[in-house]
Structure 1
Amino acid sequence: MPSDRRTVLALTGALLAGAAGCLSDDPADDDTGSDDPGDDHADDDDSAAGSSDGNGFDGYDVPDFPQLELATDPEIDETALAEQVRGNLELSFDLLAQLREQEPDDNLFCSPYSVSVALAMTYAGARGDTAAEMADALRYELEGDDLHPAFGALEAEFARRNEDGEDVDDPTGEGHDGPAFQLSTANSTWGEEGVDFDEAFLELLEAYYGAGMRLVDFSGSPEEARERINEWVEERTNDRIEDLLPGGSIDASTRLVLTNAIYFEAMWKYPFSEEDTEPAPFTGLDGEETEVEMMHQSIEVPYAEIGGHQLVELPYANDDTSMVIVLPAAGEFDAFEAAFSVDRLATLLGETSRPEVELAMPTFDIESKFSLVETMRELGMERAFGDADFSGMTEGDNGLVISEIIHQSFVEVDELGTEAAAATAVVMEESAPPDRVELTVDRPFLFFVLDRPTETPLFAGRVVDGETLQEE
């Protein structure tokens, strides 16, 4: 796939439906499976920047770019895929918003893609009002007949991305250990022996998610089943996600667990020099300064600034994947984060040029683990946890409900690149221009790891606390 193709994020109006014109500031707006592991600008009216809300976005139109040409397997209409990619992006904003309410002073990291896939597999067995609530909460823009092929197309595209990554050369030319680019995803279902699972449900999961059914004895040996699932996750995340399912999360009443694992390791296209890394202050959300290790380099990369809010896009070695860093204006992080949206991200990306950026940013590592039950309840997914209808999963009346959704993630960013991993488990039981600019990331910021040809948000995070930013 050509690396210069515009992103799905900025596809046609089908992707950004209803977003043209001024942007609002309203923040409310038995194992059958394998065990083997130069851009156009929007409205350039100078009066739009620095508007009365202090966010500098009023008056900017969401950019409109050419339709993406995406080779997918299974085949799916590109506009339909674009619609779901927008839904995936919106879910990433929803998740960050809910998680920051729970931990407002903490650094956060998650994989919206992992969450969405694990729950899409669960959604395949939902019916009636349960399915309707899940589709709304998870921002599923497509009907089931199109939704699952859309996810299957993304899975196939990422598999190709990973295959192509085998030929990506080490940008430093120094023969560092490990791949210059790796992106792998895996799905699996773990079902109770003796339960009569619906054949159509299993066939759908195998066809679009590659999720073979692994039979386990939850009722007789729940701890053994838990350990087996955790081992599967560890193997597929290079041991970065350990003990995804904690003790007690699986018991004799468990009937089905659906899992997704994603692993990402990539070198920067333009690596930083370790010799240029030096201590520098980082001002946290509470105003306190902490000394962190700050990387430095001067590079020509996509950069935008609107109303004092800055964005920089740092490509990885494969050219198709990048980290997008969004640095709100000093003192405006809270207001910016509350109003940030898919459309505003699209606007910033649409305003990019390629100046020489004097970039300073910290190395960082974040580990997060969440139960997403209350998060999904807040997003409107109620019935799945109580009066649920998952009759598409088994033959007859099964009485299955979601008892837990566990998401765990890890990211490490240094001079050479990024390593990230995440896993999600759904447990079921019965009943993110001047010629030369400076960007110093020394205060709270948001970041996203994006697959650019499909603009799928693989990972998303926020950094607000320097004290814990570089803990070993």
Structure 2
Amino acid sequence: MRSPKTWVCGLLPLLVLYIPSINAMNDSNDVRDVAEFSRRLAIFSINVYGKLSLLKSNENVVFSPFSIQTCAAMARIGAEGQTAEELDRGLGLVSSNVTEIAESYNRVLSIYEKSNILRIANKIYVMQDYALNDEYNALLAQKFLSSAENIDFGQSEKAANAINGWVEERTNNLIKNLIPPSALNGLTRLVLVNAIHFKGTWVHKFPKHATHSELFYLNDDESVNVPMMNLKDRFRYADLPDLDATALEMPYADSDLSMLVILPKSKTGLQQLEKKLQSVPLSQVTDKLYSTQVIVKFPKFKAEFQVELTNVFKELGMSRMFSSKAEFGKMLQSPESLQVSAVIHKAFIDVNEEGTEAAAATGVVVRKKRSAPMPPVDFYANRPFIYAITHREAQQGLPIFLGSVSRLSEVTLQTPSSSEHDEL
């Protein structure tokens, strides 16, 4: 009996994406298809967020559902039988046909392909002396726009350095050490990697001199001083009584992407909001947004997040891929018994007066077996909140990143002289 074989799948999307207008598409069928893709990705996003918020209850969560789903979809192309069926359901894919699955991702990836702001790259590392199945290789190369490269996973440190170097280069050095050398060995057969990087500036920039140390309430009893950005301008805003929250959309320049922030009205309302969002699509939030003058207070923050997603996948009904019964017989020319042994995800976000820069990464290790009222409304994000980076013109809101801010570190800024202040 041959020894178990291993493959690794790593994916790296950036937190903010430039997406040209879907309305620019010529084919109305493409519009409908991307809208359906967005709807399904939004559901997957909330499902994963629900699991992560429980798993990492004391951390600021930030992840890219697009990254995770894309990476797993690349693996799905090579799956068969019950493994494929579980991935179709758990990921919320548009079809059970591999060609249609690949085409759905190609429609989205093609939107970004010529962007100067957003960079997306896919790559497949294959064990030396092994070759990809022709159909599998063609679908990933033509539809996921990936390239393949042979590498000796037996030299685990050298192989990890090569993979991680590729990831770092394509994420502006924001994601480092995605794949640990210990995840690779002589039994590793494949590593699938997707990398995304974006750096977006706000349409309405926050003036730096208006950033002050203000309180951020962790709960009813605890608070910390944080750098709080301040601005008054016209934004899309909504009061959401059913969620006991308000929402604000902050658009990025030269793109159809925005940050959607959902703010509980209570200092301790984040957990209840998270539960309600399990059954409320983000599209129901964005449908209620209207343009109005808003006084915004929003914290500057950076967040890093790392998680192993095996248990999350299992809880979402995708467990067979991790067992000796996994069916990934369509990946290699000489089929071997492969199974997933780990799913690694890393993400980073930096939000400041100018805009947002972010990146994320996912790794899957497999072995052989989402008219203005007056006066201005207040939107003070001085307590835990949820945010999403979404495509504004997608009917369901294409969620690229999703996260929450529940804890911030104490930071005190020097207060500028009064002559430097501009009235909000």
- Look up the equivalent residue of 1:215 and give its one-letter code: N
Residues 468 and 291 (structure 1 numbering): CA distance in 2 closer, same or farther, change over 3 Å?
closer
Q: Could you tell me whether the CA contact under 8 Å between 1:190 and 1:215 is conserved in 2? A: yes
Q: How does 1:355-434 map to 2 (within 5 A)?
A: 355-386=292-323, 387-431=325-369, 434=373
In structure 2, runs of 5+ residues without a counterpart are 1-21, 413-424
Q: CA deviation at 1:453?
A: 3.2
- Look up the equivalent residue of 1:279 and give its one-letter code: S
1:251: which partner in 2?
185
Task: Report the 3-state secondary structure (helix = DSSP H, G, I; strand = E; otherwise coil) of the residue aligned with 2:199.
Answer: strand
Distance 1:469 1:391 in 2: 53
- Look up the equivalent residue of 1:449 and give its one-letter code: I
Distance 1:235 1:465 in 2: 30
Q: Could you tell me whether the CA contact under 8 Å between 1:76 and 1:153 is conserved in 2? A: no
2:100: which partner in 1?
146
Residues 367 and 445 (structure 1 numbering): CA distance in 2 closer, same or farther, change over 3 Å?
same
1:320: which partner in 2?
256
- Look up the equivalent residue of 1:370 and give its one-letter code: V
Task: Report the 3-state secondary structure (helix = DSSP H, G, I; strand = E; otherwise coil) of the residue aligned with 1:261.
Answer: strand
Deviations 1:146-194 (A, max 9, x none): 221111110110224x24xxxxxxxxxxxxxxxxxx2211111111112
Q: How does 1:179-194 map to 2 (within 5 A)?
A: 182-194=117-129
Which of 267, 274, 279 in structure 1 is aligned with 2:208? 274
- Look up the equivalent residue of 1:95 and give its one-letter code: V
Q: CA deviation at 1:413?
A: 0.3
Distance 1:402 1:286 in 2: 43
Distance 1:324 1:103 in 2: 22
Q: CA deviation at 1:81?
A: 2.7
- Look up the equivalent residue of 1:434 and give its one-letter code: P
Q: Could you tell me whether the CA contact under 8 Å between 1:281 and 1:290 is conserved in 2? A: yes
TM-score for both structures, normalised by structure 1: 0.77
Q: CA deviation at 1:341?
A: 4.1
Q: How does 1:36-47 map to 2 (within 5 A)?
A: none
Residues 261 and 287 (structure 1 numbering): CA distance in 2 closer, same or farther, change over 3 Å?
farther
1:119 aligns with 2:72: yes
Q: How does 1:438-453 map to 2 (within 5 A)?
A: 438-453=378-393
Distance 1:446 1:242 in 2: 25
Distance 1:398 1:318 in 2: 47
Distance 1:183 1:340 in 2: 29
Larger % of strand: which? 2
Q: CA deviation at 1:467?
A: 2.8
Q: Could you tell me whether the CA contact under 8 Å between 1:363 and 1:414 is conserved in 2? A: yes
- Look up the equivalent residue of 1:121 and give its one-letter code: M
Distance 1:140 1:448 in 2: 21
Q: CA deviation at 1:276?
A: 0.3
Task: Report the 3-state secondary structure (helix = DSSP H, G, I; strand = E; otherwise coil) of the residue aligned with 2:121.
Answer: strand
Distance 1:405 1:276 in 2: 42
1:333: which partner in 2?
270
2:137: which partner in 1?
202
Q: CA deviation at 1:257?
A: 0.7
Distance 1:85 1:205 in 2: 21
Q: CA deviation at 1:72?
A: 7.5
Distance 1:280 1:361 in 2: 10
Deviations 1:283-302 (A, max 9, x none): 11474111111000001010
1:156: which partner in 2?
110
1:262: which partner in 2?
196
- Look up the equivalent residue of 1:412 and give its one-letter code: D
1:225: which partner in 2?
159
**Equivalent residue pairs, number:** 383
Residues 279 and 469 (structure 1 numbering): CA distance in 2 closer, same or farther, change over 3 Å?
closer
Distance 2:221 2:26 in 1: 47
1:466 aligns with 2:404: no
1:109: which partner in 2?
62
Q: CA deviation at 1:460?
A: 1.0
- Look up the equivalent residue of 1:310 and give its one-letter code: T
Q: How does 1:42-191 map to 2 (within 5 A)?
A: 69=23, 71=25, 77-143=30-96, 144-160=98-114, 162-163=115-116, 182-191=117-126
Q: Could you tell me whether the CA contact under 8 Å between 2:99 and 2:139 is conserved in 1? A: no
Task: Report the 3-state secondary structure (helix = DSSP H, G, I; strand = E; otherwise coil) of the residue aligned with 2:350.
Answer: strand
In structure 1, runs of 5+ residues without a counterpart are 1-67, 164-181
Please report the RMSD computed on the Cα atoms of aligned residues, expressed in angstroms: 2.1
Mean CA deviation greater in 364-373 or 455-464: 455-464
Q: CA deviation at 1:468?
A: 7.2
Residues 217 and 385 (structure 1 numbering): CA distance in 2 closer, same or farther, change over 3 Å?
same
Residues 113 and 469 (structure 1 numbering): CA distance in 2 closer, same or farther, change over 3 Å?
farther
Distance 1:157 1:240 in 2: 24
Q: Could you tell me whether the CA contact under 8 Å between 2:225 and 2:410 is conserved in 1? A: no
Q: Could you tell me whether the CA contact under 8 Å between 1:290 and 1:467 is conserved in 2? A: yes
Deviations 1:92-131 (A, max 9, x none): 1111111111111211111111111111111100011000
Q: Could you tell me whether the CA contact under 8 Å between 2:340 and 2:365 is conserved in 1? A: yes
Residues 196 and 345 (structure 1 numbering): CA distance in 2 closer, same or farther, change over 3 Å?
closer
Distance 2:333 2:369 in 1: 15
Distance 2:111 2:381 in 1: 32
Deviations 1:49-91 (A, max 9, x none): xxxxxxxxxxxxxxxxxxx645279x96432332221111111
The percent of aligned pairs where both chains have the same amino acid is 30
Task: Report the 3-state secondary structure (helix = DSSP H, G, I; strand = E; otherwise coil) of the residue aligned with 2:402.
Answer: strand
Deviations 1:337-372 (A, max 9, x none): 111047442222111111100000100100011111
TM-score for both structures, normalised by structure 2: 0.86
